[in-house]
Structure 1
Amino acid sequence: MNFMNTYTFKQHFEESLKDPEFRKLWAESEVEYQLSRQIIKKRLDKKISQQELAKRAKTTQAIISRLENSSFNPSIHLLKRISAGLGSKLTINI
């Protein structure tokens, strides 16, 4: 197999960022991506399941899953409950 002509994801991503429309959409989704990564990291650090976090946050496992997959826009109220369920405090910087 010849891998000399392999086009990596990084190369594809860097090329895609040259497109203004893609760059705009990427920037708009960055907040959701970072939020989901932080929730996943904190949950795994605490060694709790999505189900346990949902119970602590008084929501459903499906909502936690959707939030972790960036397919759900939560309210500030829900984020506060999730933060509390993770033993953290919600902070927002602008």
Structure 2
Amino acid sequence: MRSFRKHLDEQMKDPKFRKAYNEEKKYIELAVKIANERNRLGISQADLAKKASITQQQLSRVENGANCNVQTLVKVCSALGLRLKVDREGKKSTHAR
């Protein structure tokens, strides 16, 4: 793990890499929050997808951090009893609570 951290630190010196990394990190953090909440509630992807009126495949993409539209995110968050919040950078970024 040490060599990965060292490699990442080196790559983060490149502004283009750092920007892309930080953008991807936001998607992954949101995806993890959604998946964790679904698991905490003890419901399957299929059940949540049905409740959110989306396909299980769409939900899988959301939980894997894939690019999706805001409408899909709102449906998933609403079905989980979460809200989607947008803040300025420097504060907490777009996230589900």
Q: For this structure pair, what is the TM-score category when the shorter chain's length is used for normalisation?
A: 0.7 to 0.9
Which residue of structure 1 aligns with residue 5 of structure 2?
10
| CA–CA separation in structure 1 for the residues paired with 2:2 and 2:72 | 41
**Are residue 91 (structure 1) and residue 85 (structure 2) matched?**
yes
Which residue of structure 1 aligns with residue 65 of structure 2?
70
> Cα–Cα, structure 1 residues 39 and 23, in superposed 2: closer, same or farther, change >3 Å?
same
Structure with the bigger RCO (C-alpha within 8 Å, sep 6+) is 2
Under a length normalisation based on structure 1, what TM-score does the superposition of the two structures give? 0.79
Larger radius of gyration: 1
Deviation at 1:87, TM superposition (A): 2.0
Relative to its length, the structure with more strand (as a share) is 2
Gaps of 5+ in 2: 89-97
Deviation at 1:7, TM superposition (A): 5.5
Which residue of structure 1 aligns with residue 92 of structure 2?
none
Deviation at 1:80, TM superposition (A): 2.0
SS at match of 2:51: helix
Give the residue type in structure 2 aligned to 1:11. Answer: K
% identical aligned pairs: 34
Gaps of 5+ in 1: 1-5
1:10-89 alignment, distance < 5 Å: 10-75=5-70, 77-89=71-83
8 A contact 2:62–2:73 mirrored in 1: no
Under a length normalisation based on structure 2, what TM-score does the superposition of the two structures give? 0.77
- RMSD of aligned Cα (Å): 1.8
